[in-house]
Structure 1
Amino acid sequence: MAGWNAGVGAVVAPSARRGGALRLVASADVDSLDPARTYYVWSWLLQRAMHRTLTAFESSPTGTRTVPDLAEGPAEVSADGLTWTYRIRRGARFENGREIRAADVAHGIERVFARDALPGGPTYLLDVLDHGGYRGPYGGEPCRAIGRPDDHTLVFRLARPFADFDYLMAQPNTAPVPPESDSREDYWRHPVCSGPYRIAHYEPGGSLELVRNPAWRAETDPVRPALVDRMSVTFGVEVDEMDARLLAGEFHLDVEGRGIQHAARDAILADPGLRARCDNPATGFLQYVTVQTRVPPFDDLHARRAVFYAADKAALLEARGGVGVGGELATGLFPPHLPAHSAFDRYPSGPDLTGDLDAARAELAAAGLPGGFATAIATQPGKFELVARTLARSLGRVGIEAEVRVLDTASYYRTGLGHPGTVREEGLGLGVTDWGADYPTEYGFLAPLVDGRQIKPEGGNFNFAELDDPRVRELIDSARRTTDPEHRKALWRGVERTVMDRAVILPMAHDRTLHYRHPDLTNVYVHPAFGLYDVQAMGVAR
């Protein structure tokens, strides 16, 4: 038995044994199996088993750096930082046996620009590449920012220097897509896999089964050990039932990584045997409440600030899972592992953290709403719902009546809270959510939440507040240009203070999650770049 937190920073039960089946479970479906359209972190970890990318995070419990994957080595970067050239590894193949060419990687990346047809997924490349208004490959023209001089070379032309470009090349939307197999909006039904596993069966909302890709060769893949013969994921299991079935041994792991719920938490922590099968990592996620500026009365700054002061952070932390196991109080935005993290607290909640109700009432009066107002809180089932109901009670103390609306988990960010049209039409003034960095830098963490250029009106939006502030954009651009670490840290802290002054992100906790691992699992570790178990690296002992 490995022990408490043994999978954080180390590997539990190292083994090279091949074979067997990994049984996974989740409360909801993946957001998409199309690598261009997925944004859930646990979906990315499944994508990591199915698809190769130019670079990838190494398979390691300390692996926060990227290494070459489909690329045969590091990029060649021009002196001005505007041209990045990758050489494609020879011998890597799709599941149909065809060799992967530079044009396939280019086509996969070009699909990111087809926002009308393929909403969802990260959109950094729209801002980073010098593409001249390109709108995707379906008009017949290649993207001018992506050169492919031969079958094994890709040349990217950037609009401005961007030192984090290797991190972008590790995201699922850089996976190769054979143009002849691209069914556009329907590609999610059967994406052509390039990793060690391919899709044998997918029933949306029901289950996913991955089996070995017969065309994959270990000698061409420096990242993935591919130990198990198959992985199965059962979707749609209610969270408390899921915990019970995990503890009964029916499943090896909760792949979704939401963590053990309150009902099972206390029983696990009281049992030394069960506790020894758990990890409680700091995930790098921020648990927070978003306040939407396009939903009245939150178009008024004082109405937004009233929410910040009225929030009972002590109760919200307990609803999330309690101090320690559930996380640590967050008063600012950046998680502790990033250099710009600080103890900044723009909206103190009093010595007992239950809120400053006098300050909240003063803000309501300044907004012309001394008696309060009505709004709605968007949330998902499980801990998110507990947080939403706790928030509603704390806001009710100052006359803010908040109706809790529980939305579907699988579509929460695609067509629910993440769709500006839905937010406005349904009057979702508040939303309970969380966020972890797309990659471990300040830009990768905060820009998608606050940069107005990353608002996605078609869905899959994470700038929920639709904050488009010139000062924020100016500071972000300055931080991207500077090479001095201390100056960059100061600029990002300036972004944080500006955003907090605008009162659009109410931080609750720097997240810790209680994960349970089956004793038959081998090669188990929490990947520090994702904050979840690296399922593609796992094996089973029997």
Structure 2
Amino acid sequence: MRPRVALAATSAVALLAVLAACSKNTGSSSGDNAQGSTQSGSISTNPADSKGPAKAISGAKRGGTLYQYLEADYDHLDPVRAYVNNATAATNLLVRTLTMFKDDGKGHLTLVGDMATDAGKDTSGGKCTSWQFTLKDGLKYEDGSAITANDVAYGIARSFSPDLAEGPHYIQQWLANDINYNKDYKGPYNGGAAVPPGVKVSGKTISFNFKEPHCDLPFAASWGTTSPLPKAKDTKTKLDLRPFSSGPYKVKSYTRDSKLVLERNKYWDAKTDPIRHDYFDTFEVDFGSSSEQQANAIKSSQGNDANAVMGANVPPTLLPTVQNDPQVKNRVAAGFTQFVWYMAINNQRIKDVKEREALNYGFNKKAFIQALGGSTAGEEANTLLSPTTIGYKNYNAYPYDQAKAKSLLGGKHPQLVFAFANTARWQKLATTVQNTLQQVGFKVVLKPIDSASYYTQIGKNNNPYDLYFAGWGSDWPSGSTIIPPVFDGRNIQAQGNSTYPYFNDAAVNSQIDKLTKQSANDAAPGWAALDKDIMTKHAPVVPVYYDKAYQMYGTNVGNMAIGQSTGWPVYYNAFLRNGK
């Protein structure tokens, strides 16, 4: 999973156009990997696209309970902290943001206004330094109170708190004009104002003012950073347990590591929402079942299992059964996601570049992918950028070569700690990692981590692990949302990091600064060149596979698909075929 980062969209992921000089722009890319065709997308310039209600789903019925089975609980449900795709998919039911992606179901994503009347207005004359959003009429919370622009500003303000360090940091860094965004202003918990510096509120309008151009703000505003919250409803770190709803569903009950139940928010008005539906009465997430248990239950589809969706890929042992039964195979949401999964090398612990190169040469990607589930789970990756990224260029700096890996180690046998999420699936995969690396001379100690806090633990700067897996998918498909969050060492903090390799190089950081000042299309070749430069000179990670989803759903579930902006099942477009 991704801490959108940090974890893991349909048969191919959409290639979104990023604003160039703040004007609508589209693009496409292709690579040598068999990813299927890339798609296209845009930021809407038509306010009509932001008006609700969302287009009705053909054949949809209202009623019933949709079930989601997960191996482990969410890292975070607080929308400013949620950065793993399974959690962001759930929070899309609970909270609204200034903007959001609308998926036409045909491979095209359009960024529209969610709470806002449009996808944002550049008020700086095309300089992208000032942006304005106006809230729609009729927006309400779960208690019937009105959502205000001040609530949006307060939600952004609390995202500066060091106690809420997880989640995307784009808007905070842009407002502060500093990667260390909470160096001075730390939000309302630490004596700061309820409206952060650079943000202004006037009636229903909220504006952002930056010292540098940020043409990507409409995209960044689709994240939970802009979710509204009244100050009186702020429970600080406890908001993880009970987010205050502005979306079509609200929390009915939540028992950590056991069950989350959502029910309809009667004050949500479909007429204000161009994206979501509320077809099912309740949404229940049950934690603790392995991928094998999920697959067997949903394959049989008896009782509640007929209304359920897997929260894991179909495991390798059950693939032949699923793929050889047309009726079951037709109940699989499948396709490439935008994520590249890599084995992070903790560069603060493994400082010898030859050792990092040996890990790259000596890691058997094919064996790992086979253990993962074969071609339904992913395809071998060599790059930091996904093939769905504007400007992607394929290369292979480290073809699998055991002899080369052994030569680089020079007879040494470094002992490394490999950390992994303590689930049945990863217990097996960890053994595969251990075996393949020990074949070239490494000694690998396996260290399981509680899966619910996995990203929190590896996100600590002083974590005691040498190797661990993470998946990164673009927050929008520009290199600006892939390389800086993971490979800009100036992002490294005490905790809440997405810079899992803990890699820091002045020349790389300087090039990042140069590229982030350019439009997405202009910067695209530079991001591809920097991708290759990072790997060939520094080898800070081992790119392993381009991710695929292959998740089964029950016989009574209608319109289930993998979301192109989340890489996870889209709940708000699903329904129960018999309405119960």
Give TM-score scaled by structure 2 length: 0.85
- Letter of the 2:154 counterpart: H
- Letter of the 1:291 counterpart: I
CA distance in 2, matches of 1:401, 1:153: 58
Q: Is the 8 A contact 2:549 2:562 kept in 1?
A: no
Unaligned runs of 5+ in 2: 1-9, 15-38, 40-54, 179-183
The residue correspondences of 1:421-460 to structure 2 (distance < 5 A) are 421=462, 423-424=463-464, 428-458=465-495, 460=496
Q: Is the 8 A contact 2:11 2:335 kept in 1?
A: no
- Aligned twin of 1:162: 214
- Aligned twin of 2:141: 94
- Letter of the 1:496 counterpart: D
- Aligned twin of 1:400: 442
> CA RMSD of the aligned region, Å?
2.3
CA distance in 2, matches of 1:222, 1:484: 27
CA distance in 2, matches of 1:74, 1:32: 27
- Letter of the 2:398 counterpart: Y
- Aligned twin of 1:357: 402
**Deviations 1:272-324 (Å, cap 9, x if unpaired)?**
221121132001111211100112xx1111111111111122212212221x3
Moved segments of 4+, more than 6 Å: 5-13
Task: Count how many residue pairs are aligned between Structure 1 and Structure 2.
Answer: 516
- Aligned twin of 2:24: none
- Aligned twin of 2:361: 309
Q: Is the 8 A contact 2:171 2:225 kept in 1?
A: no
Q: Following TM superposition, by how much is the alpha carbon of 1:389 offset from its aligned partner in structure 2, in angstroms?
A: 1.7
**Deviations 1:113-156 (Å, cap 9, x if unpaired)?**
002x2221111123211468321122142312110022x01010
Q: Is the 8 A contact 1:7 1:279 kept in 2?
A: no
- Aligned twin of 2:380: 329
Q: Following TM superposition, by how much is the alpha carbon of 1:253 offset from its aligned partner in structure 2, in angstroms?
A: 7.1
- Aligned twin of 1:41: 85
> What SS class does the counterpart of residue 378 from structure 1 fall into?
strand
CA distance in 2, matches of 1:494, 1:6: 27
- Letter of the 2:196 counterpart: C
- Aligned twin of 2:413: 372
Q: Residue 299 and residue 60 in structure 1: after superposition, are their counterparts in 2 closer, same or farther (change >3 A)?
A: same
- Letter of the 2:172 counterpart: L
Q: Residue 334 and residue 131 in structure 1: after superposition, are their counterparts in 2 closer, same or farther (change >3 A)?
A: closer
Unaligned runs of 5+ in 1: 350-355
Identity across the alignment (%): 27
- Aligned twin of 2:318: 264
- Letter of the 2:556 counterpart: D
- Aligned twin of 1:126: 172
Q: Residue 502 and residue 54 in structure 1: after superposition, are their counterparts in 2 closer, same or farther (change >3 A)?
A: same
- Letter of the 1:222 counterpart: P
CA distance in 2, matches of 1:243, 1:135: 45
**Deviations 1:222-271 (Å, cap 9, x if unpaired)?**
22121111111101112221221222224357767431112222211122
> What SS class does the counterpart of residue 103 from structure 1 fall into?
helix
CA distance in 2, matches of 1:173, 1:254: 30
Q: Following TM superposition, by how much is the alpha carbon of 1:71 offset from its aligned partner in structure 2, in angstroms?
A: 0.4
CA distance in 2, matches of 1:293, 1:189: 34
Give TM-score scaled by structure 1 length: 0.90
CA distance in 1, matches of 2:378, 2:461: 29
- Aligned twin of 2:565: 529
CA distance in 1, matches of 2:244, 2:170: 24
The residue correspondences of 1:203-218 to structure 2 (distance < 5 A) are 203-218=255-270
CA distance in 2, matches of 1:193, 1:419: 30
Q: Residue 516 and residue 255 in structure 1: after superposition, are their counterparts in 2 closer, same or farther (change >3 A)?
A: closer
- Aligned twin of 1:417: 458
The residue correspondences of 1:159-238 to structure 2 (distance < 5 A) are 159-238=211-290
> What SS class does the counterpart of residue 483 from structure 2 fall into?
helix
Q: Following TM superposition, by how much is the alpha carbon of 1:174 offset from its aligned partner in structure 2, in angstroms?
A: 1.3
- Aligned twin of 2:340: 286
Tell me which moved more, 166-175 or 434-443.
434-443
- Letter of the 2:111 counterpart: T
